[in-house]
Structure 1
Amino acid sequence: MIICEKCFCDTEVISVIRNKAEIGDCPLCKCKNVHIYDTDKYEDLSMMFDELISIYTPVSLLPESYPKSDTRLLKSDLINNWNIFNKKSESDVYNIITAICKEKYKYNAELFDHPVGIQELYDQDYLSKHSLLVTNSWDDFVNAIKTKNRFHTHYVDLNLLERFCSYIRKPYKAGELFYRCRISTEEGIPSNEMGAPPKKLTTDGRANARGIRCLYLGDSPETTIHETRAGAYDYVTVGTFKLKKDIIVVDLKEINQISPFIEGIDCLEYAINKEHLNKINDEMGKIMRRSDSALDYVPTQYITDFVKSIIRNDGAAEYAGIEYKSVMHSDGYNLALFDPDLCECVDTQIYRIDMIDYRKHVI
Structure 2
Amino acid sequence: MSFKSWQSYWKFRNAVTNSSRYIFEEETDRFLAEVLETCKLRQRTIKKGAIFWRSQLGGDSRPVYDDDGNEIADKPCPHPVDRMKPLKFSASEGRANPKGIPYLYLATSKETAMSEVRPWIGSEISVAQFKINNELTIIDCSVNHSENPLYFDLERGFYEPSDEEKEKSVWAHIDKAFSEPVVQNDNSAHYVPTQIIAELFKNNGFDGIAYKSLLSDGYNVVLFHPEVAEILNCFLYEAKNVKFEFNETANPYFIRKQSET
Q: TM-score range by the shorter chain?
A: 0.7 to 0.9
Question: Deviation digits for residues 193-232 of structure 1, max 9, x if unmatched?
Answer: 31112222x1120110111110000000000000010111
Residue 211 of structure 2 aligns with which residue? 324
* Unpaired stretches in structure 1, ≥5 consecutive residues: 1-128, 258-267, 311-316
Residue 252 of structure 2 aligns with which residue? none
Tell whether the 8 Å contact from 1:132 to 1:161 is kept in structure 2 after alignment.
no
Q: Distance in 2 between matches of 1:216 and 1:137?
A: 27
Residue identity matched to 1:242: K
Q: Distance in 2 between matches of 1:256 and 1:356?
A: 24
1:356 to 224, 227, 242: 242
Question: Secondary structure at the residue paired with 1:249?
Answer: strand
| Percent of aligned positions that are identical | 26
Residue 303 of structure 1 aligns with which residue? 197
Aligned CA distance change for structure 1 residues 360 and 158 (closer, same or farther; 3 Å): closer
Question: Secondary structure at the residue paired with 2:142?
Answer: helix
Tell whether the 8 Å contact from 2:125 to 2:237 is kept in structure 1 after alignment.
yes
Greater share of strand residues, 1 or 2?
2
Q: Distance in 1 between matches of 2:243 and 2:198?
A: 32
CA RMSD after TM alignment: 2.2
Q: Distance in 2 between matches of 1:359 and 1:131?
A: 36
Residue 117 of structure 1 aligns with which residue? none
Residue identity matched to 2:80: P
Tell whether the 8 Å contact from 2:96 to 2:222 is kept in structure 1 after alignment.
yes
Question: Deviation digits for residues 61-106 of structure 1, max 9, x if unmatched?
Answer: xxxxxxxxxxxxxxxxxxxxxxxxxxxxxxxxxxxxxxxxxxxxxx
> What is the CA-CA distance between 1:188 and the residue it aligns to?
1.6
Tell whether the 8 Å contact from 2:32 to 2:197 is kept in structure 1 after alignment.
no
Matched, 1:278 2:167: no
Tell whether the 8 Å contact from 1:256 to 1:278 is kept in structure 2 after alignment.
yes
2:54 to 177, 180, 188: 180
Aligned CA distance change for structure 1 residues 285 and 256 (closer, same or farther; 3 Å): closer
Tell whether the 8 Å contact from 2:145 to 2:212 is kept in structure 1 after alignment.
no
2:3 to 115, 126, 131: 131
Q: Distance in 2 between matches of 1:322 and 1:362?
A: 31
Matched, 1:152 2:23: yes
1:244 to 123, 133, 154: 133
Higher-RCO chain (CA-CA 8 Å, sequence separation at least 6): 2
Q: Distance in 2 between matches of 1:210 and 1:291?
A: 17
Tell whether the 8 Å contact from 1:203 to 1:211 is kept in structure 2 after alignment.
yes
Aligned CA distance change for structure 1 residues 239 and 140 (closer, same or farther; 3 Å): same
> What is the CA-CA distance between 1:152 and the residue it aligns to?
3.0
> What is the CA-CA distance between 1:292 and the residue it aligns to?
1.0
Matched, 1:191 2:77: no
Residue 113 of structure 1 aligns with which residue? none
Q: Distance in 1 between matches of 2:215 and 2:120?
A: 14
Residue identity matched to 1:324: Y
2:182 to 288, 299, 302: 288
Q: Distance in 2 between matches of 1:158 and 1:188?
A: 41
Question: Secondary structure at the residue paired with 2:125?
Answer: strand
Question: Secondary structure at the residue paired with 2:94?
Answer: coil
Residue identity matched to 1:220: S
In the superposition, the TM-score normalised over structure 1's length comes to 0.56
Q: Distance in 2 between matches of 1:250 and 1:131?
A: 18
Q: Distance in 2 between matches of 1:300 and 1:179?
A: 22
Question: Secondary structure at the residue paired with 1:141?
Answer: helix
Residue identity matched to 1:248: T
Bigger CA radius of gyration = 1
Deviating runs (4+, > 6 A) in structure 1? none
Residue 269 of structure 1 aligns with which residue? 163
Q: Distance in 2 between matches of 1:234 and 1:136?
A: 41
Question: Secondary structure at the residue paired with 1:271?
Answer: helix
Aligned CA distance change for structure 1 residues 205 and 183 (closer, same or farther; 3 Å): same
1:347 to 233, 242, 249: 233
> What is the CA-CA distance between 1:270 and the residue it aligns to?
2.5
Residue identity matched to 2:100: G
Residue identity matched to 1:219: T
Question: Secondary structure at the residue paired with 2:181?
Answer: coil
- How many aligned residue pairs are there? 216
Aligned CA distance change for structure 1 residues 208 and 341 (closer, same or farther; 3 Å): same
Aligned CA distance change for structure 1 residues 362 and 271 (closer, same or farther; 3 Å): closer
Aligned CA distance change for structure 1 residues 361 and 136 (closer, same or farther; 3 Å): closer
